[in-house]
């Protein structure tokens, strides 16, 4: 059984394995940093940056670091789903040969577990790297403590836990194959997404509202974190609905062929694009929130703490954006692989590669940009409240919004450029062969 699993893993291809391993490595590294920070005593033996050194701020920092794992896990989900059509055929062939759904599930688990475990172990190396670069004597900003480190049993728990998490995500991604034994692609359109996420946002809003009443500091912190988490969840679950509605709107009005192709694709299958867009939404949310609170920071020029903190936040957001570009690229490549024949037919009819790329761009942008705008707006409102607005703060918030959307646009451009070789491959006449 294990041998079949290994063969399947290799059949899945190197890029997929590397992505899965890379994601688990990043997640493990980040979590180990979190563990190290949590092990710090109230008065740390070394000089650390205030965000980590001061116990009051530590909670927020560990929370934010842990949240960075979310885009990495989303990328992992996308990576497991890469090459879905071919995977489904392989696993369906196994079903026909007599494998039970349990067997297929087990094989799917092994297929992910192998690279996930290797990546997890490599994550210890990632932690070491982060420690080297962001901790100790030579670091510019000391974020990672060197006086303490996770105990061996803590490392083991993290490694095993992340592997398990990876396998869980993998199982989640492959549940459709188990259900349809003959690997038949459904002809009916799935039901359109519903805006249930709005309820979550309402709950988060309620949480923020309670802060206006006097609550003890600890409770306030807990509420804030919970509300932020719920808001992120809200954005993630609203993303499909936002993507679907914006695509529907465009589809009925546009005369552009690339927009028509892109919008129809989203309407037909909103969830895959929305997953990618959701990650973008989360990042935009944080960016929006940061933008609101940036105004007082910019006015305090004597204490470098605020400026550095904001630069750090910006750096982290950029890293997250890079990870999201990865997600977007994976999604773009996957959607091309699924539609080789009709793309090749369009190319033969007289559609250029550039036009195909524009359609790819539009497919992601139509979903990601509205979600990012919504996220940034929500972030602004959540942390800034709907009250007190000065011309300066309004300008800063608008600037943040524009900057966020601009960076998202850039990220999508990069992702589409990265998948140019796949576009060429999809338009090849070879895909039209019937023999």
Least separation, in Å, of the C-beta of 277 and another protein? 18
Nearer to another protein, 186 or 212 (CB): 186
The conformation of residue 44, written as its DSSP 8-state character, comes to -
Nearer to another protein by Cβ, of 194 and 253: the residue is 253
Are the C-beta atoms of 215 and 182 separated by less than 8 Å?
Answer: no
Q: For residues 421 and 94, give the distance between their C-alpha atoms in angstroms, rounded to a whole number.
A: 31
Looking at beta carbons only, is 192 or 296 nearer to another protein?
192
For residue 289, the SS3 value is helix
Q: For residue 270, give both structure tokens.
A: 């909103």
What residues contact residue 322 under an 8 Å CB cut-off, 6+ apart? none
Q: How far is the CB of 255 from another protein (least distance, A)?
A: 4
Distance separating alpha carbons of residues 312 and 53, to the nearest angstrom: 15
State the minimum distance, in angstroms, from the CB of residue 331 to another protein: 16
CB closer to another protein out of 111 and 357: 357
Check if the beta carbon of residue 327 is closer than 8 Å to that of residue 276.
yes
Q: How far apart are CB 257 and another protein at their closest, in Å?
A: 4
Asked if 29 and 130 touch (Cβ cutoff 8 Å), the reply is: yes
Supply the minimum distance, in Å, between the C-beta of residue 426 and another protein: 13
CB of 427 to another protein, least distance (A): 10
Binding site for another protein (CB under 8 A): 187, 189, 253-257, 260-261, 264-265, 267-269, 339, 341-342, 345-352, 355, 429, 432-435
CA–CA separation, 81 and 333 (whole Å) = 11
Nearest alpha-carbon partner for 119 in 153, 75, 177, 86: 75
Shortest Cβ distance from residue 33 to another protein (Å)? 43
- Cα gap 13→27, rounded to integer Å: 22
Q: Smallest distance from the beta carbon of 424 to another protein, in angstroms?
A: 11
183 versus 385: smaller Cβ distance to another protein? 183
Residues 6+ apart with CB under 8 A from 130: 29, 33, 144
Distance CA 222, CA 236 (A): 21
Q: Could you tell me if 80 and 113 are in contact, meaning their C-beta atoms sit under 8 angstroms apart?
A: no
User: In this structure, how many other beta carbons lie within 10 angstroms of the beta carbon of residue 54?
Assistant: 14
Q: Which is nearer to another protein, 386 or 435 (CB)?
A: 435
Nearer to another protein, 131 or 358 (CB): 358
Angle at 283 between CA 419 and CA 310, to 5 degrees: 120
Within 10 Å of residue 193's Cβ, how many Cβ atoms? 19
In this structure, the number of other CB atoms found within 10 A of the CB of residue 34 comes to 20
Residue 171 Cβ vs another protein, minimum distance, rounded to whole Å: 28
Distance CA 360, CA 336 (A): 9
Q: Smallest gap, in angstroms, from Cβ of residue 189 to another protein?
A: 8
Rounded to whole angstroms, how far apart are CA atoms 327 and 273?
A: 10
Question: Please, what is the minimum distance in Å from the beta carbon of residue 317 to another protein?
Answer: 33
Nearer to another protein, 389 or 429 (CB): 429
Q: Which is nearer to another protein, 348 or 395 (CB)?
A: 348
What's the CA gap between 309 and 305, in Å, rounded?
A: 6
Q: How far apart are CA 317 and CA 144, in angstroms?
A: 18
Looking at beta carbons only, is 10 or 341 nearer to another protein?
341
Confirm if 337 and 85 have CB atoms less than 8 A apart.
yes
Residue placing its CB nearer to another protein in the complex, 394 or 429: 429
């Amino acid at each position: 059984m294990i041998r079949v699993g290994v063969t399947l893993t290799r059949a899945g291809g190197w890029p997929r394995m590397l992505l899965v391993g890379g994601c688990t490595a990043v997640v493990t590294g980040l979590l180990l940093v979190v563990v190290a920070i949590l092990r710090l005593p109230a008065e740390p033996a070394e000089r650390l940056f205030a965000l980590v050194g001061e116990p009051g701020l530590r909670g927020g920092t560990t929370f934010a670091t842990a949240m960075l794992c979310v885009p990495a896990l989303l990328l992992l989900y996308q990576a497991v789903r890469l090459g879905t059509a071919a995977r489904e055929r392989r696993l369906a062939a196994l079903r026909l040969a007599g494998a039970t759904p349990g067997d297929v599930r087990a094989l799917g688990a092994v297929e992910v577990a192998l690279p996930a475990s290797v990546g997890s172990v490599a994550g210890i190396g990632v932690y070491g790297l982060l420690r080297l670069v962001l901790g100790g004597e030579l670091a510019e900003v000391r974020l990672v403590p060197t006086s303490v480190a996770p105990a061996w049993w803590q490392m083991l728990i993290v490694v095993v836990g992340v592997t398990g998490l990876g396998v869980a995500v993998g199982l989640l991604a492959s549940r459709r194959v188990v259900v349809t034994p003959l690997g038949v692609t459904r002809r009916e359109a799935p039901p359109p997404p519903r805006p249930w996420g709005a309820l979550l946002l309402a709950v988060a809003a309620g949480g923020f509202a309670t802060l206006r009443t006097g609550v003890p500091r600890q409770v306030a912190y807990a509420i804030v974190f919970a509300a932020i988490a719920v808001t992120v969840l809200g954005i993630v679950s609203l993303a499909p609905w936002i993507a679907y509605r914006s695509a529907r709107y465009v589809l009925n009005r546009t005369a552009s062929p690339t927009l028509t192709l892109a919008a129809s694709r989203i309407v037909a299958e909103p969830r895959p694009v929305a997953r990618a867009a959701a990650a973008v939404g989360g990042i935009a949310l944080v960016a929006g929130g940061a933008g609101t609170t940036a105004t007082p920071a910019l006015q305090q020029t004597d204490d470098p703490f605020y400026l550095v903190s904001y630069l750090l936040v910006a750096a982290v957001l950029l890293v997250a954006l890079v990870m999201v570009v990865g997600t977007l690229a994976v999604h773009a490549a996957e959607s091309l692989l699924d539609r080789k024949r009709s793309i090749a037919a369009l190319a033969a009819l007289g559609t250029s590669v550039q036009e195909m790329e524009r359609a790819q761009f539009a497919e992601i942008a139509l979903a990601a940009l509205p979600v990012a705008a919504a996220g940034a707006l929500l972030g602004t409102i959540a942390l800034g409240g709907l009250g007190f607005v000065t011309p300066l703060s309004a300008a800063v918030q608008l600037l943040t919004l524009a900057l966020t959307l601009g960076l998202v646009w850039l990220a999508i451009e990069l992702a589409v450029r990265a998948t140019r070789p796949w576009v060429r491959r999809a338009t090849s006449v070879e895909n039209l062969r019937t023999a």
